[in-house]
Structure 1
Amino acid sequence: MKIKKTACLYAALLISMGSGAALAEKAVRQETLVVTATKTEKEADGLTASVDVITAEDIKMMGASTLKNIMEKTPGLTLQYGQFAHASSKSKSTISIRGMGGNGTLLLIDGRRIAGETQSTYEMDRIPAGMIERIEIVKGPMSTLYGSDALGGVINIITKKAGREKFAMDMDVSTGMNDQGDSESYKAGVNARGRVGKLGYSLYTNYNKTRPYTETETYSSKALNPKTSMPVTSDPQHGETGEVDVSYRDASEVFSTGISLDADLTDALSAQAGLNYFEENREGTYTGGFKKARPGQTPSAVMVLDTPVDSQDDNKRIDADTSIKYKFTDTLTGRIGAYRSEYEKRNKTRAKNFTATTNTKFSADVDITGYEGEATWAATSDHLLVGGAEYREISRDSAAINPDPTSYEFVNDTQRFKAAYLQDEWQITQDLNAIFGARYDDMSDADNKATFKAGLAKQFSSMFKIRVNYAEGYRAPDTAELYVVAPTPGDIPRIGAEAVYGTKTTVHELNPEFLRSYELGIGGDYQRFNYEVVLFYNDVSDKIEIERVDVDNDGSDDYQTYVNKPDVDIKGVELNLGYDFGHGVTADFNWTELSTEDGETGEDLLYNPDRTFSIGVDYQVTQTLCLSLTARHIGSQYKSQTEKVGSYQLVDISFLKHFGSKQQYELYGGVNNILDESVDKSLGSNTGPYMFAGMRVHF
């Protein structure tokens, strides 16, 4: 096909422009102030933890329309599929950092939790790139500042806010599709910000629409007795075979809008408030399990597995937050804040091959309410203390956690967290600094936890900086792991630890995960070159994983459930290199080696690639034109205890062109996966070469 030949020639041209720079990293990094790792503004180079920052300029070069487009191109992150307890899991992704899984990654927007699905499985596709100012990624446990869920790390999405200018506006429209015209997407967004006297404001509105990408799959249904898991061979659905177009990218419409206000009320007092809203329609076709009634027959109902189903979501969320900040003295500042996030999910799942009642069990109402108080005190010229207290309540109402699996009535599960924390940033000498932190969490449905961290950073010269870090983290079991009964995904039901269904006749306890992490980083820069090498070791106790259970020892598994793995070892090495070749050419190289092992069985954890690396080359052709090439290698990984998925490589190209008298117009575009690399379906599949183009206007 012509487009493929053109794309390959374009890629070859870009590589030649890179002057053989394929094995280096992006130009010397600029000093960046980050807030997520310490809750204070601090230069990234002075931190003891690993922090990556994705800027608005980086996002522009990607041509990203959603958070997913950004995350899948970010080194050191793994997008995992099939984790969601619903047939639609094939189209839902979650982020894993350093082998800790999607539940171990805490996703924040402006430092706040948001209500939604467990593991944030929908958020990748619903958060528009146009609202993002930058993304701060902290790798390693951050429970001493953020509590539960921050085992693997924290991803903090920082949205665009009012600046000092009186008025500014950005408008962005784009579209894309693969080389067959499938998986079309359309995006339009506008962001306006400014300041009137002491009042600053920022408003945004975004609209994303996608058409589905499907792949034809064969299915072979099984009808099972829900109580015994024995085949019901007399049912006409048992042994039913055929083909179905399975959605690996949903058809969707997502509308989001929001406003943020800040005011300098006095020289010492400032206030902030925000309100955000989105609504989403999403639908697709999948293969999964569905209950079929059999009036007057024995058994009176069967569970039909591996049968085509249609799923439709109508979701809404509203988020509100406010905070007040007061500067008591030159050395003491206090802040109090509150936030509320309300999420309404309405799911309808229908069987395609037989008549049955529409399944609405996976509908839910999720509310998160949080109150925070925090103080920052420069106790001496060498010590900066941050301390605070937090109360957080997470309420979930859903039929999916109803102890009666046949009922569609909502029941409630509420988790409450009370916490206090203290952190000391100690500047020991001009070139040596340390950080110490501690937190205590009082939880309503798990044992209380204390976590600690300690880190040290020493700069011997610009070429040689060393840091060591020890941090602890924990995660309480979530609602799905405890209570959800899901006939999908997979060939057998997924049943929560404290749920009883079919052949699972007893409950078992799930303890919180607990992590001790050790990290050593060495890095520096010299003229146009910079580097960093990071070694990390995660010692995990009671890691929560899926386990298949054969009740009657007949060689056929009857269900899968969540269990604690007493001892899991995760270790790895990360290498980052960067070089500025001059003449507008910069390059980056990122390499990660990862080893995960269940201490009891010696087996690897699932969906963790053993090796990933990426190569990026940017070429500033002229003052107004930039070209970019990115190549990624994702290594082999286990999708079951015995099946391993091979490695694959993806190559993307893009351009960004400024024009206009004030360069207020930007034209961008590119081709992702120009070499048409296929990806195993258990890893999310791939649409093939994907072309995109768009325009931005800045006022």
Structure 2
Amino acid sequence: MKGFKALFTVFFTFIGFVAYTQTGKLSGQISDSEGTRISKNFVLKGDTNELEQVVISGTMKEVSKLESPIPVEVYTSKFFKANPTPSLFDALQNINGVRPQLNCNVCNTGDIHINGLEGPYTMILIDGTPIVSGLSTVYGLSGIPQSLIDRIEIVKGPASTLYGSEAVGGLINIITKRPGTTPIVSADVFGTTWAELNADLGAKFSVGKRAQSLVGLNYFNYNNPIDNNNDNFTDVTLQNRVSIFNKWSFDRSDNRIFTLVGRYIYEDRWGGEMDWERKYRGGDEVYGESIYTKRWELFGTYQLPVSERILFQFSANGHDQNSMYGDSPYIADQKIAFGQLTWFKTLGKHALLTGLAYRYTYYDDNTPATASADDLDKNKATHTNLPGVFIQDEITLNENNKLLLGMRYDYNSLHGSILTPRVNYKWSSANKDNVLRLSFGNGYRVANVFTEDHAALTGAREVMFIDDLKPETSWNGNLNFVKKIYAGNTFIGLDATAFYTYFDNKIIADYDTDPNKIIYDNLDGHAVSQGVSLNIDIAFLNGLKIMAGATAMDVYSKEDGEIIRQLFTEKFTGTWNIGYTFRKSGLTLDYTGNLYGPMRLPLLSSTDPRSEYSPWRSIQNIQLTKKLKEGIEIYGGVKNLLNWTPNKGNPFIIARAHDPFDKNVQFDSSGQAMVTPDNPYALTFDPSYVYGPNQGIRGFLGLRYNLY
């Protein structure tokens, strides 16, 4: 035994609590055989600054999440690692109130619904710059290397005052990592028992002393046709996708900002009859939906070299799409250029933001959308100019109260002047444990049906326009309350929201009037999206963490006194993410899932044997992650534990999958399908009855590596 005297310092941190530090003197004896154990009990105190993440999406400037007058939800890269997916589109499935919606049973393209509003109402940004619109709404969330994503910020509710059209339902801002804070080399590769392969690779390097670059590569391949539901169609679309991402960050005097980002994505996907081959592309022998997509993007932010804080954001992108839906082609070319100047100025209690924005859109395709008004057989590309100006004043009334006022004016070269105001109020308690936010605003959307609605492209139904489509307008109110609770050594965070949106001129896709047509028109009445949502975060001292949420909503339109529930919209959604780390073994267990209520689906006729409403459904996943030596971890698990697929309980999903070109369908004089021995339900081929993925249970195994 040996005696000793020493000084010691204990430092302990845990999310949601103030760091514990104690320094003191220690004396005792050391046993040569057993060593010495030093133990001390202590209680951590709740941290009022818990989850003080910096966000930018709500107000276009960096501000702590709790101080923002706009409610912003933040999801870090760690959240998405609990359920690894090959694209951000799939990764959003475990976020409350946000749902990836498949729009086609054959080619598996889709969009993102926020609080029941369809994909065209959601704006996608990368590093705060609007990137996704029109054609790229379908594909913009694919191919971004997830290993390069720092966090995702989500704003629910209209943000048109700052971001213009397409931000009616909300926005999703993908914040990529800064080159200076990323590993030298990173890799995340996983495969599934369905023979899917996804690889995210990243690397950083410096050029001189002032330039740093981050390079990322995403590759996804699935080339294994499977038909478990026995309809002779692929259950999952085959894909070959590659995306290259390059971000530059330049060091400038006075810490001024200059970033430049480029991205290129190529995708070849097809789905259809199991015996489809390339030689059948565009023909009527064997049905297949084949889509070639080429897309490039260039965007960045430059802070002007002046004493005032003035930023110039810019972006340009081109999207080339060559699609064949059976024998119906959709060939489209879209180019968008965007520029925006923003000036930030603080005057006493006023934090002012003013901006000038301009967007130019070129769009051309082979559909009636770009046909000449004088001669429908002649093509006429559209050129849309959209200049705008906006101003925002964030007023600090006192330490606990803030008021935000905003106004935007846009002039659309096709539709004229559009004005969008908003007002937001935030109250917080002295200790910041209670935050109340109230918002009211206006949103608008200029629709382009052929770039937003996959069903309009497939040729399975004829597309009709009753009149020229007018811009939609909406008024929205949100009430948000955040509560932080410290129960002993447990942290509980509550985030509750009530939302209401009222639409004028909403553009409705009518699938019901004629089973062979999709009829588009502005609603002669109004539409409503309303509901409540609750998110709860719980962190226990033993390492157990629970994130769960639920949203109850009602989305409908009212015309001529009749209330019609919106298609493809559920009344209830629930999500959860439960994680626990076994500290001794270095194992982490993640259990994630979602639950969706019934949604109304399009039927072809009153005799269609498929259910008008989808059943309750849930997709659940489990994963184990093991940390090996520094920078290396392996993970694996099972996706879709319940083996849920939409064909269960239905006689079929795709109508007349055995006759996709309607060669054996007989029509009456009005063009309606007739009942025949071969067609007892009077149906035509239609893949639009879709509400969930056809992919059943599967295992997965992956490896992550980071070199710092």
Specify the code of the residue in structure 2 equivalent to 1:207. Y
Structure 1: unaligned runs, 5 residues or longer: 1-26, 218-242, 288-302, 352-358, 498-506, 551-555
Separation (CA, whole Å) in 1 of partners of 2:577 and 2:456: 41
- Aligned residue in 2 for 1:534: 497
Corresponding residue to 1:560 among 518, 521, 533? 518
- Aligned residue in 1 for 2:573: 612
Contact 2:198/2:220 (CA < 8 Å) preserved in 1? Answer: yes
Specify the code of the residue in structure 2 equivalent to 1:136. E
- Aligned residue in 2 for 1:628: 590
- Aligned residue in 2 for 1:274: 261
- Aligned residue in 2 for 1:63: 84
Separation (CA, whole Å) in 2 of partners of 1:453 and 1:116: 23
Contact 2:145/2:217 (CA < 8 Å) preserved in 1? Answer: no
Alpha-carbon RMSD: 2.9
Contact 2:549/2:574 (CA < 8 Å) preserved in 1? Answer: yes
- Displacement of 1:45 in angstroms is 1.8
- Aligned residue in 2 for 1:431: 400
Matched residue SS, 2:568? coil
Corresponding residue to 2:190 among 167, 174, 187? 174
- Displacement of 1:442 in angstroms is 0.5
- Aligned residue in 2 for 1:475: 445
- Displacement of 1:247 in angstroms is 3.2
Q: Show the 5 A alignment for 1:47-58.
A: 47-58=68-79
Separation (CA, whole Å) in 1 of partners of 2:94 and 2:49: 20
Q: Which moved more, 1:101-110 or 1:247-256?
A: 247-256
Corresponding residue to 2:204 among 193, 213, 216? 193
- Displacement of 1:124 in angstroms is 4.0
Specify the code of the residue in structure 1 equivalent to 2:497. V
Q: Which moved more, 1:408-417 or 1:137-146?
A: 408-417
Paired positions, count: 592
Corresponding residue to 2:146 among 108, 116, 129? 129
1:70-110 CA distance string (max 9 Å, x none): 1122221122232x7xx84x511111111221110111222
Separation (CA, whole Å) in 1 of partners of 2:339 and 2:376: 35
- Aligned residue in 2 for 1:675: 642
Specify the code of the residue in structure 2 equivalent to 1:564. N
Specify the code of the residue in structure 1 equivalent to 2:332. A
- Displacement of 1:677 in angstroms is 2.1
C-alpha change, 1:618 and 1:481, in structure 2 (3 Å) is closer
Asked if residue 285 in structure 1 is aligned to residue 263 in structure 2, the reply is: no
- Displacement of 1:534 in angstroms is 0.9
C-alpha change, 1:32 and 1:598, in structure 2 (3 Å) is same
Separation (CA, whole Å) in 1 of partners of 2:698 and 2:80: 17
Contact 1:28/1:530 (CA < 8 Å) preserved in 2? Answer: no
- Displacement of 1:268 in angstroms is 5.9
- Aligned residue in 1 for 2:698: 690
- Aligned residue in 2 for 1:138: 155
Q: Which moved more, 1:384-393 or 1:671-680?
A: 671-680
Specify the code of the residue in structure 2 equivalent to 1:683. Y
Contact 2:424/2:437 (CA < 8 Å) preserved in 1? Answer: yes
Specify the code of the residue in structure 2 equivalent to 1:468. L
Contact 1:485/1:493 (CA < 8 Å) preserved in 2? Answer: no
C-alpha change, 1:655 and 1:324, in structure 2 (3 Å) is same
Asked if residue 148 in structure 1 is aligned to residue 189 in structure 2, the reply is: no
Q: Which moved more, 1:468-477 or 1:185-194?
A: 185-194
Asked if residue 574 in structure 1 is aligned to residue 533 in structure 2, the reply is: yes
TM, length-normalised to structure 2:
0.78
- Aligned residue in 1 for 2:677: none
C-alpha change, 1:385 and 1:404, in structure 2 (3 Å) is closer
Separation (CA, whole Å) in 2 of partners of 1:441 and 1:135: 27
Q: Which moved more, 1:515-524 or 1:339-348?
A: 339-348
- Aligned residue in 2 for 1:545: 508
Contact 2:351/2:395 (CA < 8 Å) preserved in 1? Answer: yes
- Aligned residue in 2 for 1:599: 558
C-alpha change, 1:397 and 1:658, in structure 2 (3 Å) is same
Specify the code of the residue in structure 2 equivalent to 1:163. G
1:386-419 CA distance string (max 9 Å, x none): 1111110111121123538999986412222100
Specify the code of the residue in structure 2 equivalent to 1:69. D
Asked if residue 415 in structure 1 is aligned to residue 405 in structure 2, the reply is: no
Separation (CA, whole Å) in 2 of partners of 1:533 and 1:115: 29
C-alpha change, 1:212 and 1:139, in structure 2 (3 Å) is farther
C-alpha change, 1:278 and 1:484, in structure 2 (3 Å) is closer
C-alpha change, 1:42 and 1:408, in structure 2 (3 Å) is farther
Matched residue SS, 1:365? strand
Identity %: 22
Matched residue SS, 1:339? strand
- Aligned residue in 2 for 1:311: 289
Q: Which moved more, 1:437-446 or 1:314-323?
A: 314-323
Asked if residue 259 in structure 1 is aligned to residue 228 in structure 2, the reply is: no
Contact 2:135/2:334 (CA < 8 Å) preserved in 1? Answer: no
C-alpha change, 1:493 and 1:55, in structure 2 (3 Å) is same
1:540-590 CA distance string (max 9 Å, x none): 11111111475xxxxx65522211123112110001122223211111221
Specify the code of the residue in structure 2 equivalent to 1:188. A
- Displacement of 1:156 in angstroms is 1.2
Q: Show the 5 A alignment for 1:307-346.
A: 309-326=287-304, 328-329=306-307, 332-346=308-322
C-alpha change, 1:465 and 1:275, in structure 2 (3 Å) is closer
C-alpha change, 1:212 and 1:374, in structure 2 (3 Å) is farther
Separation (CA, whole Å) in 2 of partners of 1:484 and 1:689: 27
Separation (CA, whole Å) in 2 of partners of 1:453 and 1:249: 43
Corresponding residue to 2:64 among 24, 27, 43? 43
Q: Which moved more, 1:122-131 or 1:437-446?
A: 122-131
1:359-390 CA distance string (max 9 Å, x none): 5x31211101111111111122x221111111
- Aligned residue in 1 for 2:412: 443
Specify the code of the residue in structure 1 equivalent to 2:303. K
Bigger Rg over Cα? 2
- Displacement of 1:610 in angstroms is 0.5
- Aligned residue in 2 for 1:657: 626
- Displacement of 1:679 in angstroms is 2.8
C-alpha change, 1:386 and 1:253, in structure 2 (3 Å) is same
- Displacement of 1:484 in angstroms is 10
1:136-170 CA distance string (max 9 Å, x none): 111000000110000100011122221257x6221
- Aligned residue in 1 for 2:343: 375
Matched residue SS, 1:144? helix
